[in-house]
C-alpha cells in the first residue's frame, strides 16, 4: 500500500504516523509537499526498505530536482546540474569505480579546483566514507542526481568498467581464454575427424557398436533421472505461504530487475506495459533496461516511451563479446536492490511475482542464493512448433527442475525469472560474459561455492519460438553453452568433485553428458526403430536379434514414459488442450540433433558468438491479463 491508498484511510492513517523527518520537513517548508503526505510517506517507509526520496518520487509526490535542492538546503551546500557535473574534472583516486556506482558518488573538482564529492544520498555516503581515502571521505559534499552521478562515473571510467564487465568471473571458472586458440581447436578437430574416419573405414561395425552402446547407456541414465525427478516432483508439497510473523513484521527489501535489450523494438511498448502491472511497491522496485551502445534503433524507440521513475535505462559500452551476460555484468553495479532479478524483453510475469520472491527469500536460509521461477508460453496455439515448445517447457520447469532440486542435485538455471541475493552474486563475479548459456553455468558455480537454488511457484510467460530456423538457432546456442559449461567446470574434475560432493557431481555428469550425447547420437538411436519394424540393422552381425528386440522394446517403453511426463505437465486447466499433442513430441525432439551439429561447429569456429533469438514473431499472440494472488499482497496497514 502506498501514500495514495493511505490517504483514503484519512485520520486513521495519520494517527499512526510520527514526524515527517528532516527532508520531509524541508520539502514542506519550501512548499513542494503537503504535511499530511510527508507523514504518510514516513509511514510507508516503516514497512519498506526504501529512502524517503524513493517513496516520494515513485509516488509522484515530489520531483527529483525538488528533493535534491531540499537536501542541498538542509546541508547548506549546493545542487549541481547534469551539465555542470559533466564539465567538472574527476579527482584522481584509487577507489574502485564499481564502488562509486554502487554507492552513488563521484569525486570531482569544483570551480576553484578543490576536491568535492557529488552524491544524491549524503547519509549513505557518510556511512561508506570510513573505508574511503581521507581526501575523499573528508571532502565537502555537493548534491547531484544519482543517475547523473552514475553516468559521470561510467563516462570517466569507461575502459575499467568495460574490462570488469568482461572479466568479473575468475579465469578458472570462465571460458574467456578460449578466444585466441582457434588454431589449436582446428588442429584438434581435424585430427579427431581423421582418426574417426580411419577407424570407421577399418572397423565400421565396431565403431557403430560403440556409439550405439554409449547412446543406449546415456538414454537409460536419462530415463532413470527423468523418472526419479518426475516422482519427486509429483509427490512434493507446494511452497508454504509466508508465515504471519514474516508477513506482518519484516520490511520488504528493495529489488532490482535487469532487462537486457538488443534489437527489441517490436516488444518494447508491451514490455513496459507488463512491468507496470507488477504490484510490488514501486518505491522498492529498481528496473534497469540495459541497452547496447551500437543499438541506436532500440535507444530511439525507448526514448519515445515515458518511463516511470522506477524504470531507467543504461547503455553498456560497446565491446566484445556482445552478449547478454556481459551487459548484465556491466549493469550489476548500477543496481540498488538487495535482490537482483532477470527478465527478458518478451516476459510477462505474474503481477505479484516480486512480492512472492521477496517473502520467500525472507523465509529461507542465506545459503539459498537463487530462486528460479516457472517459465511458460503465451502463444502455444500459434503452430505445432509452439505447442511442442510449450509442452517441453512445462515438463522441464514444472516437473524436471523441481524434482531434481528435491533430489538434491544442482540445477541449471533458466535465463529469466531468476532472482539472486546480491551479495553471493557479486561474490561469484556475476555472469561469465563469454558463455552463451550464462544461466546454466551460474547455476553450477553457485553449487560449487556452497549455495543452493530453489524453485518457486510463480510464473512468467514468454513468446514460444515458433519458426523452424529461429528455433534451431536458439537451441544451438543453448547446446553450445552446455558444451562450454561442461568443459569449463571439468578443467579440474577433482576440485569440482570436492566442491560439489559426490551426489551433485554425479548429477552434473549425468545431466550434461547424457543431454549432449542424446542430441549428438540421436541418429544412432533412431536406427533401433528398424528392429521394431522387423528390418535389418547394422548391428545384426554383432548382436542377436532377440537382444536387439529387447533393446528396441526398452526404447519404446522410454518413449511411453516421456509421453506420460509430457501429458502430466500439461494436464492443468491452462494447457489441457495440449494433451493430444504430447505424443507428437517424438517428432519434435529430433530437431535438436540439427541444432547440436550446428553447436559443435560453432564451438570450434565461433565459441562466443551469440545467435540472438528473434522476438515478436507472433504478432497475434499477447499475454493474457494476469491476476495477482492475495497471498502475495503487501499490506502496510
3-state SS record for 614-627: CCCCCCCCCCCCCC
Q: Predicted confidence band at 627 (pLDDT cuts at 50, 70, 90)?
A: low
Tell me, what's the pLDDT at 159? 94
Q: Is the pLDDT of residue 39 over 80?
A: no
Going by pLDDT thresholds of 50, 70 and 90, the confidence category of residue 23 is low
Classify domain 75-156 by CATH number. 3.30.300.160
Cα separation, 114 vs 138, whole angstroms: 12
Burial 118-148 (b: 16+ CB within 10 A, else e): bbbbbeebeebbeebeeebeebebbbbbbbb
47 pLDDT above the threshold of 90: no
CA 120 to mean position of chain CA atoms:
29
Q: Which residue has the higher pLDDT, 619 or 286?
A: 286
pLDDT digits (tens, 9 = 90+) for 573-594: 889 999 999 999 999 988 999 9
Mean pLDDT of 246-275: 86
Residue-level pLDDT at 384: 94
Convert the pLDDT of each residue in 379-413 to its tens digit.
999 899 999 999 999 999 999 999 999 999 999 99
CA distance 23 to 342: 33
Say if residue 482's pLDDT is above 90: yes
Banded pLDDT at 555 (limits 50, 70, 90):
confident
Average pLDDT, rounded, for the chain: 86
Nearest 5°: the CA angle 414, 415, 418 is: 75
pLDDT (0 to 100) of residue 13: 47
Q: Is there a contact between 179 and 433 (Cβ–Cβ < 8 Å)? A: no
Question: What is the pLDDT at residue 550?
Answer: 84
Mean pLDDT of 540-567: 88
Strands (E), 283-343: 285-292, 311-316, 339-342
Span(s) in the chain for CATH 3.30.300.160? 75-156
3-state DSSP: the chain helix, strand, coil percent, rounded to 5? 55, 10, 35
pLDDT at residue 331 is higher than 90: yes
Among 99-113, 237-251, 272-286, name the one with the lowest average pLDDT.
Answer: 237-251
What's the rounded mean pLDDT across residues 342-368? 94
pLDDT of residue 7 exceeding 80, the answer is: no
pLDDT at 6: 52
Averaged pLDDT for residues 161-182: 88
Amino acid at each position: 500500500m502506498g501514500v495514495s491508498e493511505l490517504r483514503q484511510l484519512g485520520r486513521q492513517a495519520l494517527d499512526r504516523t510520527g514526524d515527517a523527518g528532516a527532508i520531509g520537513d524541508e520539502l514542506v517548508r519550501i512548499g513542494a509537499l503537503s504535511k499530511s503526505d510527508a507523514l504518510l510517506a514516513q509511514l510507508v517507509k516503516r514497512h519498506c526498505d526504501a529512502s524517503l526520496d524513493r517513496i516520494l518520487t515513485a509516488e509522484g509526490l515530489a520531483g527529483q530536482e525538488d528533493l535534491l535542492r531540499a537536501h542541498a538546503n538542509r546541508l547548506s551546500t549546493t545542487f549541481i546540474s547534469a551539465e555542470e557535473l559533466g564539465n567538472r574534472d574527476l579527482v584522481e583516486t584509487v577507489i574502485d569505480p564499481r564502488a562509486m556506482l554502487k554507492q552513488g558518488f563521484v569525486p570531482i573538482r569544483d570551480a576553484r579546483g578543490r576536491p568535492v564529492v557529488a552524491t544524491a544520498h549524503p547519509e549513505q555516503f557518510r556511512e561508506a566514507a570510513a573505508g574511503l581515502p581521507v581526501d575523499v571521505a573528508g571532502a565537502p559534499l555537493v548534491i547531484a542526481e544519482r543517475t547523473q552521478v552514475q553516468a559521470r562515473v561510467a563516462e570517466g571510467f569507461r575502459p575499467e568498467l568495460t574490462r570488469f564487465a568482461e572479466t568479473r568471473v575468475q579465469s578458472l571458472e570462465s571460458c574467456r581464454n578460449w578466444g585466441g586458440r582457434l588454431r589449436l581447436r582446428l588442429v584438434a578437430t581435424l585430427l579427431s575427424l581423421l582418426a574417426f574416419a580411419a577407424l570407421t573405414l577399418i572397423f565400421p561395425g565396431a565403431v557403430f557398436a560403440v556409439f550405439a552402446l554409449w547412446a543406449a547407456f546415456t538414454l537409460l541414465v536419462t530415463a532413470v533421472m527423468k523418472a526419479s525427478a518426475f516422482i519427486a516432483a509429483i509427490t512434493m508439497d507446494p511452497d508454504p505461504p509466508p508465515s504471519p510473523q514474516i508477513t506482518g513484521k519484516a520490511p520488504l527489501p528493495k529489488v532490482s530487475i535487469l532487462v537486457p535489450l538488443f534489437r527489441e523494438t517490436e516488444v518494447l511498448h508491451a514490455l513496459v506495459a507488463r512491468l507496470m502491472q507488477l504490484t510490488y511497491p514501486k518505491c522498492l522496485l529498481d528496473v534497469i533496461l540495459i541497452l547496447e551502445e551500437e543499438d541506436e534503433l532500440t535507444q530511439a524507440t525507448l526514448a519515445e516511451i515515458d518511463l516511470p521513475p522506477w524504470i531507467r535505462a543504461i547503455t553498456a559500452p560497446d565491446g566484445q563479446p556482445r552478449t547478454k551476460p556481459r551487459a548484465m555484468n556491466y549493469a550489476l553495479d548500477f543496481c540498488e536492490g538487495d535482490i537482483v532479478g532477470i527478465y527478458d524483453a518478451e516476459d510477462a510475469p505474474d503481477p505479484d511475482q516480486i512480492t512472492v520472491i521477496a517473502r520467500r527469500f525472507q523465509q529461507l536460509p542465506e545459503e539459498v542464493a537463487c530462486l528460479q521461477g516457472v517459465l511458460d508460453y503465451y502463444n502455444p496455439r500459434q503452430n505445432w512448433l509452439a505447442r511442442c515448445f510449450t509442452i517441453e517447457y512445462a515438463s522441464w520447469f514444472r516437473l524436471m527442475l523441481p524434482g531434481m532440486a528435491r533430489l538434491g542435485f544442482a540445477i541449471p538455471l533458466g535465463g529469466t525469472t531468476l532472482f539472486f541475493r546480491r551479495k553471493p552474486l557479486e561474490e561469484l563475479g556475476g555472469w561469465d560474459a563469454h558463455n552463451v548459456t550464462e544461466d546454466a553455468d551460474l547455476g553450477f558455480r553457485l553449487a560449487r561455492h556452497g549455495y543452493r537454488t530453489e524453485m518457486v511457484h510463480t510464473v512468467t510467460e514468454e513468446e514460444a519460438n515458433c519458426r523452424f530456423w529461429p528455433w534451431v538457432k536458439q537451441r544451438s546456442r543453448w547446446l553450445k553453452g552446455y558444451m562450454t559449461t561442461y568443459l569449463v567446470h571439468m578443467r579440474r574434475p577433482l576440485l569440482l568433485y570436492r566442491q560439489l560432493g559426490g551426489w551433485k557431481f554425479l548429477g552434473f555428469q549425468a545431466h550434461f553428458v547424457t543431454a549432449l550425447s542424446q542430441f549428438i547420437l540421436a541418429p544412432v538411436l533412431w536406427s533401433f526403430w528398424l528392429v521394431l519394424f522387423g528390418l535389418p540393422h547394422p548391428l545384426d552381425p554383432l548382436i542377436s536379434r532377440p537382444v536387439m528386440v529387447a533393446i528396441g522394446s526398452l526404447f519404446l517403453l522410454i518413449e511411453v514414459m516421456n509421453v506420460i511426463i509430457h501429458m502430466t505437465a500439461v494436464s492443468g486447466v491452462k494447457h489441457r488442450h495440449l494433451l493430444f499433442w504430447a505424443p507428437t513430441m517424438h517428432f519434435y525432439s529430433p530437431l535438436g540433433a540439427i541444432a547440436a551439429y550446428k553447436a559443435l561447429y560453432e564451438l570450434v569456429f565461433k565459441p562466443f558468438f551469440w545467435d540472438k533469438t528473434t522476438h515478436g514473431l507472433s504478432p497475434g499472440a499477447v499475454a493474457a491479463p494476469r491476476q495477482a494472488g492475495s497471498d502475495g499482497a503487501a499490506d502496510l496497514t
